[in-house]
Structure 1
Amino acid sequence: MARDPLAGISTIATPQTQRIPGRTDQVLNNAGGYVFAKDTWNRLEDFLILGTTGGAYYVGEDKLTADNADVLFAAISEDGPRVVDLIVAISTAQPPRAPKPHPAVFALAAAFARGDLDTRQAVKAALPLVVRTTDHLAMFVGYLKNLGGKASRNGSGLVVGRALRTALASWFLRDEPDNVAFRACKAMQRKTPQGEALALRDVLRIAHPKADTAQHKALFGWIAGNVTDDQAREVLPAVDRFLTAKAVTSVDEAIRVVGELRVPWEFLPDAMLREPAVWETLVDTVGMTALIRNLARMTRLGALKPMGDATGRAVARLTNREAIVRARIHPMDAWLAMRVYASGTAQPNPRAEVQTWKPVPAILDALEETYELAFGSVEPSGKRLLVAVDSSGSMSGGWGGRLTVGGSPLGAPYEVGCAMAVMLARIEKGNVHVIDVDTSVHASKVTPRTNLREIASWRPSGGGTNLALPFDWARQEQLNVDGIVVFTDSETWAGRSHASQSLTAYRKAVNRQACVVVAAMTAAGHTIGDPNDAGVLNIGGLDASLPMVVNGFIRG
């Protein structure tokens, strides 16, 4: 009998290298398989949470960044105020949804540079909520300089109009003058993303904020260089503390001002920051973020040591839930700190000597608890979950596709997916089963008791990708679960059916109400999740709200 070509057309099982018949919303992914295109707003959310630093396995950093910039610009053209609302929602969420602020600050600058009048008004109101520190301010100005067109006569490289003056002025007026002075003293000058020096004085001259009080007048005059140190310190306690700290010449003096005045470490002379006794005092007074970032330095200098008093106090702070939430510590920051601290070695500057230290076990244990506490309090859903971590070659971090946070390698997407799977397993206790998936299903090492430090040594199985397998395997095993969570970059191509088709088969055979969460590990703009399926949710894999979202979505 002659072969009937129409017999090969199937909406039930279609090879992943072909579109599902009738689904014109499918696009070719970077591995040669067909998946679903995310809409502009889902892609924008991925960008704001995941960023593009480090690129992906199939897509370099430059192209991934350019693609996401195009999505951002399209969203601003479509509905600029909605873009600003999304930026604010992600930037101010508790716990913080994005590991780093760079994508949100860039998006805010783009909204101001390319948005209409309503969008610019929204940016003016949002700026003090998103641009919270002098670092953020330097980012915003640097990004805006690249996006704002013609150079100006004031030397800033910005086209300065009333709207920009008002927006920047809000940074100086958003808080009590002494609180602004405190932030100013911590960093009077920062570098823009382009590497150019940006003095707070220059931003002040652009903004021309209105000084309505004596404190504001003293603050703005001191930053501009028109008010003396003595005049400023009389009305601004933060300036007094800063100048007092800068004047110390001995360890005893440094310990006194840290203990009595609670000055941050940035206020102290560099010579004092090489003294263990000073850091033993700073353990109690520095901000939580500064504490986490300086653990290696404290250990290297001898301030933190096994069974030391300062070590006990550091552990107490690192395991304080309220302090962690208040400081907006992202779980990935805690995990990165644990990864770096456990390594015992660092070289922040390629030209500098390698720094080494011997990690203190108690600090490592505390950082693991910091990671968990940073997610907030999530009650078990009481539902059964299958968690599938994509362990294919594209999740290995090869070809530059390693997740990077603030210039530091966080690890391969596979490692991060496993870390998130551990968290879900701990929250849901005995109601989670975890598998690895490439072109086969493999047993996962993840359990509720997995030590997060172990994951650094794990390697994915590699090979091709078939993301229909979690659903096929669950159907074959008759595994009745309420939800399936997949951590993946959606670069699937090897299956004889699409993931959405296999999900349909699983629902028909086992559980018609099963929900699916697809956690994206890169901002590549596509997903295996059918956008027309109300039982499928797409979310960023580095989103700190992921455990809560999974929990709520599975509950229905």
Structure 2
Amino acid sequence: MAQQNQQQNHQQNQLVMEVDEPVPQTEQLRMDQTRNDAGGFVWVVDDMKRFRRFVVLGSETPTYNTDDRKLGRENAQSLLRLLKNGRGIEVVNEILKYSVEGRTAKLNPLILAFAICARLGDLKTKQRAYEVLDQICRIPTHLFLFVVNSKILSKPGSGWGKASRKAIKKWYTQKEAIKLAMDVTKYQKCEGWSHADIARVTHPMSDKPSIQCVLKYAVRGYEEMIASFPMSQDNTNELETLLNFFKAVEEIKKLTTKEEDRVVELIEGQNLVREHVPTGCLGSMKVWNALLKKMPMTAMMHNLNKMTSIGLLAEGSPQVKNVCDKLQNEDLLRNARIHPFNMLLALKTYESGKGEKGSLEWKANVEITKALEKAFYLSFKNVEPTGKSYMLAMDVSGSMQASECIGASTMKPHVASAAMAMMTARTEEHHEFVAFSHEIVPMKISSNMNLDEVLKICNEIPMGSTDCAQPMLYALYNNLKIDVFIVYTDSETYYGDVHPREALAKYRHHSGIHNAKLIVVAMTSNGFTIADPDDPGMLDIVGFDSAAPQVMREFILGNF
């Protein structure tokens, strides 16, 4: 078998070298090409696509980096050009769509783009931006980031105009009073700004006593609020509900572990959440038991480690049954829209018994581990197919099992690769799977396999040197029609006679799929890439965190 693969590898390389002479860059290959300043023919990436790239990636270069990077106007030049060319309303509508549909990997680029439209756009763009502010900035964290970016973008000495004040007033005054009360107590500060700071510059006001009550609390504090809105039999039910809620929020702040029974009463009586509970009480099993009863799916997953560490999720306990039932409830999983990779990351982190950051440690509960694994398989139903034809190529060199994924350190690169292979097999109709080192090995991965079965197939393939050109050469040699090549590697490539970029160019030319894409997922970042940064059909994923699958999907669908 090894001799047969080596022979095919040699034939693939020879094919690339012997096929028709490539069209020189000084000649037009297709009608949709244009001549650049140097005289070569290229494809133009229009400003709207570059803008979408910025919103999703945080930069206009085709690289998604798991590390947070400081953003600035210089990274959004395409957006500024769109505004200058009178396309501001179109841009705001695009931001709204991406926000509502949850299509961005990180929050900061989207909020920065929105602030640029609101502060630097023309009159109609500003009007449209402020019209939809409450739809894009849905929680206080979003609003705080918008205010911070707006201040940075504003000219020195300029204040908040009538339109901006009106929009922020709407954000505070158009909600249900109890929902606003939960928001201002759950999310109190961000980026050095508080609700009181925002109120001082925008002056939100309302004719509704209930909203006035919440604003008074957020800006002036509990004592002044209760002086203005005392408990009384004449209060409406809505106002009385608010006063009781704020009273509970203030009381719980002062309680200690010795008063855990009262903490539980307040949580259950007023639907308080973890953010309301003082840190000193978060070591109590009773407190976490009260929080768990109404905890949403995503919050529950994030807190499994803590609840296990304090002993709440002991084997055979009713709390474990509650958690396992939720994790295996298809309706809850679907409504939470949890991606399979996020579920796998939760599983591997829980199994590891220690957090990526901090000193928290726990002994994983076997029942919960099994429930998380089942939830991983059930969550594949949340992924919508793209309808594209895939080749998913997994580097099986030794280094893929020796290191950790950047951005997901609890997972080895070969495990993350196998998980994504499963996702493709279960959601896409047209797919090919190959393993590669210095040679290519087809893999039979079907939609009914579990993760261990996929890993077993990968582990049986002999390791070798890394040649990342192999997937494209294999597709060319076998006349396969592939829209997207996804290569999972550590980028430690040196073997072979053909550069990956040249292999893709040859494949595009001879297959007729001129927009065939290549995604290079560098599971570990060593500062190098095999993707051409000047090719709009190539995307770098530097490290692999929970946001990477969404970035890849947006790129595959041509949204940036």
Same fold per superposition (TM over 0.5): yes
Q: Which residue of 1 aligns with 2:219?
A: 224
Partner AA of 1:211 in structure 2: S
The corresponding residue for 2:326 is 317
Q: What does 1:48-197 align with in structure 2 at a 5 Å threshold?
A: 48-51=55-58, 68-78=75-85, 79-93=87-101, 96-150=102-156, 159-190=159-190, 192=191, 197=192
User: How many angstroms apart in 2 are the aligned matches of 1:75 and 1:134?
Assistant: 28
- Counterpart of 1:487 in structure 2 is 486
CA distance in 1, matches of 2:252, 2:401: 44
What is the count of residue pairs matched by the alignment? 494
Aligned partner of 1:433 in structure 2 is 432
- Asked if the contact 2:433–2:445 (Cα under 8 Å) also holds between the matched residues in 1, the reply is yes
In the alignment, structure 1 residue 359 sits paired with structure 2 residue 364: yes
8 Å CA contact 2:436–2:467 kept in 1: the answer is no
TM-score normalised per structure 1: 0.71
- Compared CA separation, residues 53 and 75, structure 1 to 2 (3 A): closer
Q: How far, CA to CA, are the matches of 1:219 and 1:173 in structure 2?
A: 10
Contact 2:284 2:310 in 1 (8 A): yes
Q: How many percent of aligned residue pairs carry the same amino acid?
A: 22
Structure 2 Cα separation of the partners of residues 398 and 151 of structure 1: 55
Distance 1:26 1:293 in 2: 52
Q: Partners of 1:377 and 1:62 in 2: how far apart? A: 30
Q: How does the TM-score come out when normalised to structure 2?
A: 0.71
Alignment of 1:239-388 (within 5 A): 239-246=246-253, 248-249=255-256, 250-327=259-336, 329=338, 333-346=342-355, 348=357, 354-370=359-375, 376-377=381-382, 385-388=389-392
Structure number with greater Rg is 2
Cα distance change, pair 107–36 in 1 and its aligned pair in 2 (3 A): same
| Unpaired runs of at least 5, structure 1 | 1-8, 28-33, 153-158, 531-539
Cα distance in 2, alignment partners of residues 58 and 175 from structure 1:
36
Whole-Å Cα distance in 1 between the matches of residues 501 and 410 of structure 2? 34
Q: Matched residues in 2 for 1:37 and 1:439: separation?
A: 35
Query: Residue 195 of structure 2 corresponds to which residue in structure 1?
Result: 200
In structure 2, how many angstroms separate the alpha carbons of the residues matched to 1:254 and 1:244? 9
Residue in structure 2 matched with residue 155 of structure 1 by the alignment: none
2-structure distance, mates of 1:368, 1:35 = 47
CA contact 2:339–2:383 (8 Å) conserved in 1: no
Conserved in 2, the CA contact under 8 Å of 1:98 and 1:330?
no
Distance 2:27 2:504 in 1: 14
Cα gap change, 1:478 to 1:308, in 2 (>3 Å):
farther
Note the C-alpha offset of 1:489: 9.8
Change (3 A) 1:356 1:412: closer
Residues 423-474 of structure 1: CA distance to partner in whole angstroms, max 9, x if unpaired?
1112358x6431246775355696643428998x9999775643xx545413
Shift of 1:529: 6.9
CA–CA separation in structure 2 for the residues paired with 1:13 and 1:496: 16
Q: Is the 8 A contact 1:113 1:148 kept in 2?
A: yes
Distance 1:89 1:520 in 2: 27
Q: Identify the residue that residue 534 of structure 1 maps to in structure 2.
A: none
**Offset at 1:264?**
0.8
The aligned counterpart of 2:8 is none
Shift of residue 144, structure 1, vs aligned partner: 2.3
Say yes or no: does 1:213 pair with 2:221.
no
Q: Shift of residue 147 of structure 1?
A: 2.2
Mapped partners of 2:362, 2:414: distance in 1: 28
Q: Structure 2, unaligned stretches of length 5 or more?
A: 1-16, 232-238, 523-530, 540-546
Change (3 A) 1:125 1:224: same
Summarize the alignment of residues 24-43 of structure 1 with structure 2, pairs less than 5 Å apart: 38-43=45-50
Select 1:47's aligned residue among 54, 78, 92. Answer: 54
Deviation (angstroms), 1:409? 6.1
- SS for the counterpart of 1:294 is helix
Task: Determine the C-alpha separation between the residues in 2 that align with 1:374 and 1:219.
Answer: 39
Q: Is the 8 A contact 2:95 2:114 kept in 1?
A: yes
- RMSD of equivalent CA atoms: 5.0
Instruction: Name the structure, 1 or 2, with higher relative contact order (CA <8 Å, separation 6+).
Output: 1
